[in-house]
Structure 1
Amino acid sequence: RGSKRALLAWAGAALLAGVLLASAGYQLSDAFKARVDRTLAARDGQLDVALAGRLPIWHTAALMFAAHPVNGVGVRGFRHAYPEFAAADDPWVDSARGTGAAHAHQIVLELLTETGLLGLSLWLAAAGLLWRCSRRTIDDPAAHAPWVALLVLVFPLNTHLAFYSVPMGITLCWLLTLACLQSGLRAVGDAVESTLVR
């Protein structure tokens, strides 16, 4: 009973603090105010404004995937294939360079358009293996941080940096290294403990 009340009190305090911080940010930061106003534009039927102009990119990505469902247009090929599939009035097409939007701005669409169903299947298989690996550390709170960070990095409903870009690749590899080290250390610790118990 007492722990539920304490949890509710902390949750209420965190909610109040969040509302106060958001209100202060809206009043004091022009950039934050512009972002909130742009997001709220969805209520007025201006969904593309709320999504920072991403609807044409996502529509073009869907057409690109439909044309190349097996293996996509190639890693980092999105920008070069974009003009071929874009509408005539697409704001992201750069006619002078013959390119379009740099990437799909959504991880599942990016994997589908650049690597097709084959790439997405392999990515999901790797995610499944990592999930199994993460289960080794479930009772070790110190090991949770890299796994949570990996989950946030690849959460499928986010809009992302280019998945195959250098910053994303470095961050992903760094987090994978930390997560796998934690799992490996846990496995070694379990093996040593079972040897000592015998």
Structure 2
Amino acid sequence: MNQGVRAGWSGPARRSRKQRSAEDVAESDLFGWFKGVRWSISYAAFLVYIISLVTSRIPLGTEAMALALLGLAGEKGRIKAPPIVFIFGGFVLWGLVGWTLSADPLSTWNTVIQLAKVGAIMFVAVNVLTDVPRLRLFLLVFLGSFLVYPGRGSILNWVTGGNTLFGRAIWNYIYENPNDLAALTFFPLGIALYMMQEKGHHLARLGALASVGVCGFVIIITQSRGAMLALIPMVFLSVAGHHKKLRAISGLVFLVGVVAMFTPSDILDRFLGLKAASSGDLTALDDSNSAEGRFEIWKTAAGIFMDRPVTGWGLGTYRIKHRQATRFDVSITISARGGRDAHSTYLTLAAETGFIGVALFLALIVSVMRHASRARRRLRRYDPGLAMQIRFLQNALIAFLVAGIFGSFALLSFLYVHIATIYAAASLGERRAAEFKAARAGLVPPMGGRPLPAYAFATPR
């Protein structure tokens, strides 16, 4: 009988070096993290897609996605379609309904096709991220791709002043808008926090800590007020929910101090200018009156939604409807006229898909968050570190959704890749919790017959 499931077991069995699994090696070897990866056509193509998506430098996204889908036939195990895939499929189908009533059928059709491609990637992700080594390598590829390209590029642009938006850090492609860059940085920030909790080589953990600092600095130098506000709940939830609060607080103080050393005072002044909103003086927020114009845009977006609240005007049509709504309205400030973006994920969705589309979008978020929270509750007594890793991914999503109040991000592929990542991590967490529970009950050998750590047999508090 396996020593790890005997009643009264007092410690792990002594094993030779040859008997150590890939997970054991990962705890002491910097490169041991990759020794247990199961390679397949679908998984490799998925990683290529992620590199193409994050860096925007490799034009192989569509080809990699198609190959990843075809490669699923060769994956071991049963192909699964979890609730998040069905909910997202319903969202795409609702987009097709909106296409029949669209103010611009061509734009809506193209947007629906792009969403269908994103749904395919979600389907691939939940079927290839099926074990810890695969998930770990995927997260490292995502984080590394971001740091090497948009992270490095935006910091260099800001330092040299060669390519900024009135002093706000930007990069190329999808990152050329500072608000979008800041919001998208929450995902690699959550991944970096996840990697800090990994049981691995100390150099890898230090690298993850440095990555947290880089991502936080990128968010700050974009000078996005929405992202700065979104940082508040992310930091609070990460510290309040940490199983080692003293370490979390000390790490936070250290990172804040380091980032503050390199942050100019004018960026802090921009953030503190939010106090002006409490007095109703929106023009005092900045010289360009962007906040006042955004408020006018929000009022217009609400009116567009109320004109067709059930079905909306079709995906990808908001700018057209905004131009039509403001064409002859002289009461609206000039900065809010024309084919403007709604500057809000939720108002854009409401105007384009109606309240049914918004309900489907929120159902997708609630579904994956409930799945992750359930996994964390089951893991907390057995492996609090893994539960905290899942929480970090959740907190990144929460921060992104808060930033979405001030920007239109519902159609960004990054969001749905991250949702699939949370689902995969939570599913692995539930499996791990079930193994711990069964081992404590003496039912089955866990983790391929490996003895469990002593804390798995401790009495839960």
2:310 is the alignment partner of 1:67: no
Q: Is the 8 A contact 1:78 1:113 kept in 2?
A: yes
Shift of the 130–162 alpha-carbon distance from structure 1 to 2, 3 Å rule, reads closer
Alignment of 1:5-154 (within 5 A): 21=260, 28-30=264-266, 32-33=268-269, 35-36=270-271, 39-42=274-277, 45-47=280-282, 50=285, 51=291, 53-86=293-326, 87-88=329-330, 89-91=332-334, 92-94=336-338, 100-102=339-341, 104-135=342-373, 136-138=375-377, 139=380, 140-154=387-401
Structure number with higher relative contact order (C-alpha < 8 Å, ≥ 6 residues apart): 2
Shift of the 141–56 alpha-carbon distance from structure 1 to 2, 3 Å rule, reads same
State the alpha-carbon separation in 2 of the partners of residues 171 and 117 from structure 1: 23
SS in 1 for 2:422: helix
TM-superposed CA distance for 1:188, in Å, is: 2.4
Partner AA of 1:176 in structure 2: I
State the alpha-carbon separation in 1 of the partners of residues 271 and 438 from structure 2: 57
Of residues 51-60 and 82-91 in structure 1, the stretch that sits farther from structure 2 once superposed is 82-91
Scaled by the length of structure 2, the TM-score of the pair is 0.33
Residues 40-89 of structure 1: per-residue CA shift (max 9 Å, x gap): 54366432553252011011101101101001121121101112222334
2:431 is the alignment partner of 1:188: yes
Q: Is the 8 A contact 1:133 1:180 kept in 2?
A: yes
Partner AA of 2:426 in structure 1: S
Structure 1 residue runs of 5 or longer lacking an equivalent are 1-5, 95-99
Scaled by the length of structure 1, the TM-score of the pair is 0.70
SS in 2 for 1:119: helix
Structure with bigger gyration radius: 2
Structure 2 residue runs of 5 or longer lacking an equivalent are 1-244, 286-290, 381-386, 444-461
TM-superposed CA distance for 1:190, in Å, is: 3.5
Partner AA of 1:42 in structure 2: A
C-alpha RMSD of matched pairs (Å): 3.2
State the alpha-carbon separation in 2 of the partners of residues 48 and 108 from structure 1: 24
Partner AA of 1:180 in structure 2: Y
Equivalent position of 1:171 in the other structure: 414
